[in-house]
Copies of this chain bind each other. A is one copy, B any other.
Amino acid sequence: MSFRSGRHFLHVPGPTNVPDRVLRAMSRPTIDHRGPQFAELTGRLLTGLRDAFGNPDGDVIIYPASGSGGWEASISNTMRPGDRVLMFDQGFFAQGWRRTASAFGLEVDLVEHDWSLPVSADAVEQQLRYDNGAEPYKSLMIVHNETTTGVTTDIPAIRAALDAANHDALLMVDAVSSLGSMPLEQVEWGVDVIVCGSQKGLMLPPGLAFNSISPKALRAHDNASLPNAYWDWVAMRTQNQSGFFPYTPATNLLFGLEEALAMLFEEGLYAVFARHSRLAAATRAAVQAWGLRVFCSDPNAYSSSVTAVAVPGGVDADDLRAVILDNFDLSLGTGLGKLQGQVFRIGHLGDINDLMLAGVLSGIEMGLRLAGVEHQSGGVAAALEELASTAPTAPTAPSRPRADPQRIR
C-alpha cells in the first residue's frame, strides 16, 4: 500500500479506535501479577466492570481472550453434555455462538429468523410454552446487538417472555457490541450471563473477554459437567477475591481497561449512550438521503453502535468498500455470512465524535460516486442537519428528551 497521510479512519464495528489515553496507559511497564500493586488494580477493575455491566453485587470474570472465548466460557461453566438450548438465527454471531454450543455437545434449537428483525418476545414465549423436548431448555441465548445486521433485540422484553412462560432457562446474552454503547443493566433486566469483549464500546484493542454472571448462573456451575479449565469461573472468582488470577492475566490490556473505564465514567455512561444514539441517527439520516436502505427493517430495533447498509442489486458492497479504502483510507465492515457483498457496515461506536462521523460519511458519499453506485447526493448534508440540530448549543435542542448524564447507580 502506498503512503497514507493523516489518520486512518477505522470504522468497522470493532475493533474501534483506541483513544490515546488508553494506548498510553497500555504502554506502562508490565508489573508483577502476583504483587501488591496488582491486587489493588484488580479490585478497581472489578468494581468498575460490575458498574458497567449493571451487576453491582455480582461477579465479572476477565479472560485473556477474544470475545469468542466468552461464548465458550458461558457454555462450559454452566452446561452438561446434551443439554438443550434455544437460540434464534439472528446473524453471523448468533451462528458462531451456536457452533461453539454444538462443539461442546449441546443440543441447539436454532429458530429460523429474519435477520433484519429483532427477536420478538412473542416468538420467545411461544417457543418456550410449546417446548416439547425430553428435557426443558437449560438456556436461552440471545445476541443483544447483532453486529452483522445492526439490529438490537429488546432484552427486558425477552426476560418478560421467559417470566410469562414461567420458564427456568438461564438467560444468556451476547453484549459484545452493545456494552459501553447502549444501555445494559444485568440485574435490572434479569440476565444470567453476559458475554462481552474489549474491542468495541470499551475502546480497547482486542484481547479481553468477559462473563458477567448472576447468582443463578453461578449455581448452574455446580451442576455443570463440561470440560472446564481455562474458563473456570470458580477458580477465577476465588483468586480474584484476593486480587489475583489463576494464571497470568493480560497485564497491559488491564492497564488500558482501567483507563477506558475511567473515561466512560468521566463522560457518564448514559451520556455515552446518548452520544451513540445521536451519531447513529445522523448516520441513518445520511443513508436515507442517499436513497440506500438501512438493513434493519424495524425502526425500534435500530442499533446505536453499527448500521448495516444494503447496496442496490448488482453492486458488490466489497467493491465499494475497496474503492473507499483505496481513495479515502476509511475501513468499513464487510457483509458477513449470507450478507457478503450485499451490505457494508458502519461502526459508529467507541471513542467517536461528530466530526469523525462527518469524515466517515463524507468518505462513503464520495466512494459511492467513485464506485458508480446509484445514489442521491446530500447524505452528509442530512447528517449535518441532524447533528447541528441536536448539538449542545442548538437552539431547538431542549425539546428533545436527553438521558441524564448524572445517573448514579
Q: Which A residues contact B (CB, under 8 angstroms)?
A: 1, 3-10, 12, 14-18, 20, 23-24, 26-37, 63-69, 71-72, 76, 96, 99-100, 103-105, 197, 199, 205-207, 226-230, 232, 246-253, 263, 266-268, 271-272, 275, 323, 325-331, 333-334, 351-356, 358-360, 362-363, 365-366, 369-370, 377-378, 380-381, 384, 387-388, 391-395
For A247, the chain B residues whose CB sits under 8 A away are 66-68, 96
A27/B30 in contact, CB under 8 A: no
In the complex, what distance in Å separates the CA atom of A329 from the CA atom of B327? 26
A277 to chain B, nearest CB (A): 13
Known pairs A20-B29, A66-B249; list 11 more (Cβ under 8 Å).
A3-B267, A12-B34, A23-B27, A24-B24, A69-B230, A76-B227, A99-B229, A197-B248, A326-B392, A328-B391, A378-B381
A354/B363 in contact, CB under 8 A: yes
B68/A227 in contact, CB under 8 A: no
Given contacts A65-B69, A327-B393, contact A28 B32 (CB under 8 A): no
For A366, the chain B residues whose CB sits under 8 A away are 354, 384, 387-388, 391
In the complex, what distance in Å separates the CA atom of A197 from the CA atom of B33? 15
A377/B381 in contact, CB under 8 A: yes
For A250, the chain B residues whose CB sits under 8 A away are 66, 205-207, 253
The 6 A-B pairs of least Cβ separation, nearest first, read: A6-B353, A358-B362, A355-B359, A207-B250, A68-B247, A205-B252
For A232, the chain B residues whose CB sits under 8 A away are 103
A7/B251 in contact, CB under 8 A: no
For A27, the chain B residues whose CB sits under 8 A away are 20, 23-24, 26-27
What are some 24 contacts across the A-B interface (CB < 8 A)? A1-B36, A6-B353, A7-B356, A9-B355, A10-B29, A15-B251, A17-B30, A24-B27, A64-B69, A64-B207, A66-B249, A68-B230, A71-B230, A72-B230, A96-B247, A100-B229, A103-B232, A205-B252, A226-B227, A227-B227, A354-B363, A366-B391, A369-B388, A370-B394
Given contacts A15-B33, A228-B103, A359-B358, contact A253 B370 (CB under 8 A): no
For A359, the chain B residues whose CB sits under 8 A away are 355-356, 358-359, 362
For A9, the chain B residues whose CB sits under 8 A away are 355
A365: nearest residue on chain B (CB-CB)?
B384
For A391, the chain B residues whose CB sits under 8 A away are 327-328, 366, 370
A399 to chain B, nearest CB (A): 16
B229/A103 in contact, CB under 8 A: yes
